Structure 1
């Protein structure tokens, strides 16, 4: 028996703005929690305040992330995406855009929340960003799909706290399969991570979940 799709709340413009602001403040709070020099007593006191605020937000709790309907009436769920979701406080976020030549590109900066080796980005975070960019590039081809394979080559450490560029594009479509490639580049113009991936469009999309 398949699971029943969860009901999703549609947000209006004012709600999106308010929740995006909330996510941004929580993102700042998370970074402050990692970097604070406050003593144990102060940290405990702030934790109590945060617990109270969390309880306020949880009074009305829904079973699934909200969505925003586009001008075409399509349900947009990327608002809660862990890479580019403006309503997700754990997303950097990476503002991916499609360029006139069909590439997917974004300039972004990662905070210490995403640290792996000291002063460098965690390799899994780089993989997450590239997976999202490559998946969006696959969608640009007209054949969106789910990740089937993702291969990465870490050329050099990716630095934290500086502007990075991710760029991806699809290379070919084979039926329901789309192949794409991309990279993350540091501020010096050198590639830090390269990736190739294959995405497969499911035979059926469960439209009630999208």
Structure 2
């Protein structure tokens, strides 16, 4: 069977655009001050739109795949997935000297304590960055333990930077350290993670 790559890419781009619009909608829901009648009217329209999308649906999110340019993408991922409205989405870059980094801009819908990001959201971001750091070192694995230290509240609506690096490996075990900081380097949250390489992964080429 011949796969129409151009058509598939166009559909995925449309899906990513829909996810971007959905994030904007989620932000609007979080911050709206419109009246009760308008809220009810929007909710009715949203229900109709939801029904249209459910007319044809899949059982799982968009899978991890290799793009046409050879890069690995996971559009359904909860942290990096451009087609997942829940995702920021986080764009992770590899540092030529080792490790990974990502610019972050949390939104109001990520609030936990008043005016600050929920600690679980910070932990999720760091868990992902640590795993990416381990993968960048060629030692991909799944999270075994995650230790998070909250040094200060994490603000939303301000530019932040997340970084992580692989620290050591012993057999199938690998460790990484990471943090979320202000642009001036002030660390707000830091974490250490232990990642276990499943036996089925051993010998596979990592992205």
TM normalised by structure 2 equals 0.89
SS in 2 for 1:12: helix
Contact 1:66 1:77 in 2 (8 A): no
After the TM superposition, which residues 1-210 of structure 1 pair with which residues of structure 2 at under 5 Å, given as runs?
12-67=8-63, 68-71=65-68, 76=72, 78-205=74-201
Deviation of the 1:71 alpha carbon = 4.4
CA contact (8 A) 2:62 2:74 kept: no
CA RMSD of aligned residues (A): 1.9
State how far apart, in whole Å, the 1-side matches of 2:37 and 2:184 are: 43
Specify every segment of 5 or more residues in structure 2 that has no aligned partner in the other structure, as ranges: none
Distance 2:174 2:121 in 1: 23
Q: Is the 8 A contact 1:141 1:173 kept in 2?
A: no
Per the alignment, in what secondary structure is the counterpart of residue 39 of structure 2? Answer: helix
Mind listing any 5+ residue stretches in structure 1 that lack a counterpart?
A: 1-9
Q: Secondary structure at the match of 2:14?
A: helix
* 1:72 Cα deviation from its structure 2 partner: 8.0
SS in 1 for 2:199: coil
CA distance in 2, matches of 1:187, 1:104: 16
| CA distances 1:45-100 after superposition (whole Å, capped 9, x unpaired) | 100101111111111111111234334878x5621111111111011111111111
How far apart are 1:118 and its partner, in Å? 1.0
Deviation beyond 4 Å, 4+ runs, structure 1? 71-74
TM-score, structure 1 normalization: 0.88
2-structure distance, mates of 1:103, 1:170: 6
- The number of equivalent residue pairs is 196
Q: Secondary structure of the residue that 1:137 maps to in structure 2?
A: helix
